[in-house]
Amino acid sequence: MQRIYYLSLEFYMGRTLQNTMVNLALQNACDEATYQLGLDMEELQEIEEDAGLGNGGLGRLAACFLDSMATLGLAAYGYGIRYEFGIFNQKICGGWQLEEADDWLRYGNPWEKARPEYMIPVHFYGRIQHDHDGVKWVDTQVVLALPYDTPVPGYRNNTVNTMRLWSARAPNEFNLKDFNVGGYIQAVLDRNLAENISRVLYPNDNFFEGKELRLKQEYFVVAATLQDIIRRFKSSKFGSRDPVRTSFDAFPDKVAIQLNDTHPSLTIPELMRVLVDIEKLDWDKVRPCMGGNGCRDFLRQARKINPQHSKSLYQGVGQRFSCIKVYAKFPGDLDRMRRMSMVEEGSVKRINMAHLCIVGSHAVNGVARIHSEILKATVFKDFYEFEPHKFQNKTNGITPRRWLVLCNPGLAEIIAERIGEDYISDLDQLKKLLAFVEDEGFIRDIAKVKQENKLKFSAYLEKEYKVKINPNSLFDIQVKRIHEYKRQLLNCLHIITFYNRIKKEPNKHFVPRTIMIGGKAAPGYHMAKMIIKLITSIGDIVNNDPVIGDRLKVIFLENYRVSLAEKVVPAADLSEQISTAGTEASGTGNMKFMLNGALTIGTMDGANVEMAEEAGEENFFIFGMRVEDVDELDRKGYCAKDYYDHIPELKQAIDQMSSGFFSPKQPDLFKDIVNMLMYHDRFKVFADYEAYIKCQEKVSALYKNTKEWTKKVIKNIATSGKFSSDRTIAQYAREIWGVEPTRQKIPAPDDPRE
C-alpha cells in the first residue's frame, strides 16, 4: 500500500466533536441521548476549545485535506507539532487588539492519545567527526519527540486516519553532569529549554520568520517524522527482510511525502542525510515531493542546527542538480546558473529553501491556476525552463462536511430534499441545482434559510457582545487575517464613502448594510494593528450617528477563528475578496462563502478567477485591476496622489482620516495609515477605489430585488462543486502521488432519522 505523508507546521483543526458526529452519522443519536439527559447538544459543543494550531488559510487547508484524504480512503498521515499554545486569543480593548495566550490544553484534550512507545530522539547542534565507516554526528543536544495521535474519520466510509503531532520532551539525563545541589536544580529548570520547541505557534501569517526557535521547530517535526516514516517502512513487507541492511528499492513507490509550503523543506536534506549517512545508500532512490504554496519568503539560514545539512546541500543535492546540468542545457548562461543556485551569494551564506524544494522534489504545485502561472512566469521562471514537467497546479478546496453539513444544516437539508445526499461526498452533483434556478419554491427556501442564519447570527452577536444589528440589512462580510495585501483598507474607504453619502442626502433611500470585518493581526505587525483600530474607530462614529440609523452599521468581529467562521459564513450575503490582483495565492474563505450562498465581490485574484469562471462572470461582482494592469501600473509608476487629487469622494475620506474625524481625541492617530496609502502603498488601494465603489453600487441595486439576488445565489451554490477539497486531493493523488483514490460508501446506520 502506498502511504501518503502530509507534513505541515500548521493544522488549524478547530473543534472536533460535531465533525466526528457528522462523519460517523451519530448526530441524531447524540442529540437524542443528550436531550434525554436534559442537556442541549449545541450548548455542549460550544464548550469545546478550538484546536488553533494554525494562523489562517495554510493551516486550515491542511485540516481540510486530512478530512478529504480520509474520505477518499487514502492511507494518509498528517504530521505536525503539538503546540502547547495555539494562535492567540484576540481581545479588543478600547478599539485595539490585545493578545491573550491560548492555553487550549488546560482542561485536557479528549481527542488525543499519547504514544510514548513511538517516542523518537531528535539531535541538534554538535559537530561532525569522520572515521573509517563514514561520518559521525557527535556532541549533540538530544530532544525527545513524543507523538500524540488524533483520529481523522472519513465521511461515512469506515476509514479512520491519524494525525500525529510531536511534543518536545527533555530526556531524563538532560544536562546531567556531576553537579552539586544547585546544579541539579538548574538542570531540571533547564529542561524547559528543550521543551520550548513545541511551546507556541509563531503567530505570523504569510510572513517569513527568521528566528532560531522557528527553525528548530521545522527541523524537529521533519527529523521526527522521517524517522517514523522509515521505521514504518522497515516494518512493512516492503522493507527487506535483511536484518543488516534494509532495501529501500520500494521506498519511492510506497512513500509519498507532501510538504505544505517551504516550512518543512528541511525534509529534503534530512532524508538525504538519513539515507546516505545512516542507511548507507545511494540517495538517487528517493522521491520526495513538495507542494509549494505561497512561496513568497524563503531565505533561510541552514545555520548550525544540523551541521551535516550543509554538507548534504553542497554535495548531495549538488550531485543530482549540479550546475553542470544547467550549464549543459543553457551553455554560457552564467547569470542563469547564479540565479538558480541553492546557496545565495553574500557575506553570510544562505540557503534558498524554495530552490532546494524544487530541486529535491519531483513535483511542485501552486494552489490556484493564476498562482501556478505566476510562479512559472516570475519567481521560478528559470526552474520552469529547466524542468517544466515538475510544475503543476492544484487549485485549493474546502471540505463540504465542515463547511456545509456541519455549519449550515438548514442549507444542506434543502439541497438534499432536491438532489439527495450523495453530493456531500461528490460535490459536483450540486450542478443538479441549476434545474431549480427558476423554481419558486426553491428560491423561497434558499432565501428563508439565509434569513434564519442571519437571525441566528444576530442573536449570537447580541447575546455575546451586546450589539444589536438589523437582520434585514445586507450582511457584508470580510473575515481573514489582517494584512495590507488583503486590503481591509479598501473596505474601510467604501464604508466611509457610504457614510458620507448618507450624510449628504439623509432623505434618500439607501439599501441598509451591516459591514462586518474580523481577523487577527500578527502581534508585531504595526500597520495591521492600526487597521483594526481604524475599523473600530469608524464603527464608533458611524454606529452612533443618529442620521445614519440602522442603514449602516460597522462591526469588528472579535477573535475570528474556525469556530466563529462556522457561525458567520452561513449568515453572509456578500463576501469580500478584494486583494490586489497577484497577491492572494488562492484564498479558501472565498470558497466557503460561495458554498454557503453568499455572492462575492472580488478582484481577479487567486481562486476568485476560477470561482467566477464556474459561476459565470454575470453572477459575480468582479472589479478592479487584473494582474496585467497591476504590472502595467508598476511600469508606469503608481502615484496615489493622482487618484486623491482627481476623485473628490476619495479625497474627502482620506482627509477625514487625517484630520481626526474618526479619532477626535487623537487627531493624528491614523497619520501612518494615510502616509502609507499616499506615498508607499505596495498594494495600490486607490487605483481600485473607483471601480470598487461602482461595483458596490451594483451590489446594492441587485439586493433590492430578492428574487434576482437569490437566483444568482443558487447559481453560485450550484457551481461551487469544483472547490471541494475532495477534488483537490483526488488530483494530488493521481497527478503527484501516483495513487488512485477509492470512495467506499457505507450504508447509513440503523437510525430512521439518518
Q: Are 82 and 54 in contact (CB under 8 A)?
A: no
Q: How many residues does the chain have?
A: 754
Among 585, 601, 676, 685, binds ligand 73E (CB under 6 A): 585
Using the rule CB under 6 A, give the single segment among 113-121, 347-355, 580-588, 710-718 that binds ligand 73E: 580-588
Q: Which is nearer to ligand 73E, 204 or 247 (CB)?
A: 204
Output the smallest distance, CB 298 to ligand 73E, in A. 10
Instruction: Note whether 619 binds ligand 73E by CB under 6 A.
Output: no
Instruction: Note whether 716 binds ligand 73E by CB under 6 A.
Output: no
What sign has the CA pseudo-torsion 256, 262, 268, 274? negative
Phi (first) and psi of residue 336, to 5 degrees: -60, -45
What sign has the CA pseudo-torsion 100, 105, 110, 114? positive
Output the smallest distance, CB 453 to ligand 73E, in A. 24
Distance in angstroms (rounded) separating the CA atoms of residues 428 and 400: 11
Q: Are 247 and 280 in contact (CB under 8 A)?
A: no
Output the smallest distance, CB 474 to ligand 73E, in A. 26
Measured torsion, CA atoms of residues 319, 324, 330, 335, in degrees rounded to the nearest 10: 100
For residue 12, give Cα distances in angstroms to 51, 86, 129, 177, 220. Answer: 7, 9, 41, 41, 19
Query: Hey, which residues between 223 and 242 contact ligand 73E (CB under 6 A)?
Result: none
For residue 517, give Cα distances in angstroms to 358, 533, 540, 571. Answer: 37, 12, 14, 13
Q: Which is nearer to ligand 73E, 102 or 277 (CB)?
A: 102
Please report which residue ranges of 236-344 form alpha helices under DSSP H.
Answer: 251-254, 267-273, 307-311, 318-320, 323-329, 334-340
Output the smallest distance, CB 62 to ligand 73E, in A. 9
Using the rule CB under 6 A, give the single segment among 56-64, 119-127, 407-415, 488-496 that binds ligand 73E: 56-64
Q: Which is nearer to ligand 73E, 167 or 396 (CB)?
A: 396
Q: Which is nearer to ligand 73E, 395 or 710 (CB)?
A: 395
Q: Residue of minimal CB distance from ligand 73E?
A: 294
Instruction: Note whether 55 binds ligand 73E by CB under 6 A.
Output: yes
Q: Which is nearer to ligand 73E, 65 or 499 (CB)?
A: 65
Q: Where are the beta strands (DSSP E) in 48-119?
A: 51-53, 76-81, 89-93, 96-100, 113-114
Distance in angstroms (rounded) separating the CA atoms of residues 367 and 610: 12
Output the smallest distance, CB 635 to ligand 73E, in A. 25
Output the smallest distance, CB 206 to ligand 73E, in A. 5
Distance in angstroms (rounded) separating the CA atoms of residues 383 and 375: 10
Instruction: Note whether 584 binds ligand 73E by CB under 6 A.
Output: yes
Q: Are 135 and 308 in contact (CB under 8 A)?
A: yes
Output the smallest distance, CB 477 to ligand 73E, in A. 17
Instruction: Note whether 605 binds ligand 73E by CB under 6 A.
Output: no
Q: Which is nearer to ligand 73E, 227 or 586 (CB)?
A: 586
Output the smallest distance, CB 350 to ligand 73E, in A. 17
Q: Which is nearer to ligand 73E, 503 or 682 (CB)?
A: 682
Distance in angstroms (rounded) separating the CA atoms of residues 301 and 211: 10
Q: Which is nearer to ligand 73E, 45 or 204 (CB)?
A: 204
Output the smallest distance, CB 429 to ligand 73E, in A. 25
Exposure string (b/e) for 178-197, b if CB count within 10 Å is 16 or more? eeeeeeeeebeeeeeebbbb
Using the rule CB under 6 A, give the single segment among 26-34, 51-59, 632-640, 709-717 that binds ligand 73E: 51-59
Output the smallest distance, CB 727 to ligand 73E, in A. 15
Site string for ligand 73E, 155-174 (x = CB under 6 A): --------------------
Among 559, 588, 663, 725, binds ligand 73E (CB under 6 A): 588
Say whether 314 sits in a helix, a strand or coil.
Answer: helix
Look up residue 687 and give its three cell numbers. Answer: 487605483
Beta strands 127-131 and 134-138, pairing class: antiparallel
Q: What's CA 436's distance to the chain center, in Å?
A: 33
Q: Which is nearer to ligand 73E, 584 or 681 (CB)?
A: 584
Q: Which is nearer to ligand 73E, 55 or 536 (CB)?
A: 55
Distance in angstroms (rounded) separating the CA atoms of residues 587 and 607: 6
Output the smallest distance, CB 441 to ligand 73E, in A. 36
Site string for ligand 73E, 280-299 (x = CB under 6 A): -------------xx-----
Instruction: Note whether 58 binds ligand 73E by CB under 6 A.
Output: yes
Output the smallest distance, CB 398 to ligand 73E, in A. 10
Look up residue 304 and give its three cell numbers. Answer: 548550525
Q: Which is nearer to ligand 73E, 380 or 457 (CB)?
A: 380
Output the smallest distance, CB 260 to ligand 73E, in A. 8
Among 292, 587, 597, 741, binds ligand 73E (CB under 6 A): 587
Query: Hey, which residues between 252 and 281 contact ligand 73E (CB under 6 A)?
Result: 261
Instruction: Note whether 610 binds ligand 73E by CB under 6 A.
Output: no
Instruction: Note whether 603 binds ligand 73E by CB under 6 A.
Output: no
Q: Which is nearer to ligand 73E, 480 or 533 (CB)?
A: 480
Query: Hey, which residues between 177 and 206 contact ligand 73E (CB under 6 A)?
Result: 204-206
> Among 446, 445, 447, 412, which residue's Cα sits nearest to residue 429?
412
Output the smallest distance, CB 55 to ligand 73E, in A. 5
Output the smallest distance, CB 207 to ligand 73E, in A. 6
Using the rule CB under 6 A, give the single segment among 42-50, 409-417, 560-568, 586-594 that binds ligand 73E: 586-594
Q: Are 170 and 151 in contact (CB under 8 A)?
A: no
The size of the interface with ligand 73E (CB under 6 A), counted in residues, is 19
Output the smallest distance, CB 12 to ligand 73E, in A. 10
Query: Hey, which residues between 352 and 411 contact ligand 73E (CB under 6 A)?
Result: 367, 396
Q: Which is nearer to ligand 73E, 150 or 206 (CB)?
A: 206
Q: Which residues contact 53 (CB under 8 A, 6 or more apart)?
A: 10, 11, 12, 13, 59, 80, 81, 82, 83, 86, 87, 165, 201
Largest CA distance in the chain: 91
Look up residue 160 and give its three cell numbers. Answer: 479512520
Instruction: Note whether 57 binds ligand 73E by CB under 6 A.
Output: yes
Output the smallest distance, CB 606 to ligand 73E, in A. 5
Among 586, 596, 600, 658, binds ligand 73E (CB under 6 A): 586
Q: What's CA 116's distance to the chain center, in Å?
A: 30
Cell 534558498 identifies what position?
A: 352
Instruction: Identify the DSSP state of 241.
Output: S
Q: Are 522 and 207 in contact (CB under 8 A)?
A: yes
Q: Which is nearer to ligand 73E, 394 or 711 (CB)?
A: 394
Look up residue 640 and give its three cell numbers. Answer: 496615489
3-state secondary structure 562-619: HHHHHHHHHHCCEEEECCCCCCCCCCCHHHHHHHCCCEEEECCCCCHHHHHHHHCHHH
- CA end-to-end span of the chain, whole Å? 33
Output the smallest distance, CB 396 to ligand 73E, in A. 5
Using the rule CB under 6 A, give the single segment among 98-106, 319-327, 375-383, 581-589 that binds ligand 73E: 581-589
List residues near ligand 73E by CB under 6 A.
Answer: 55, 57-58, 61, 204-207, 261, 293-294, 367, 396, 584-588, 606
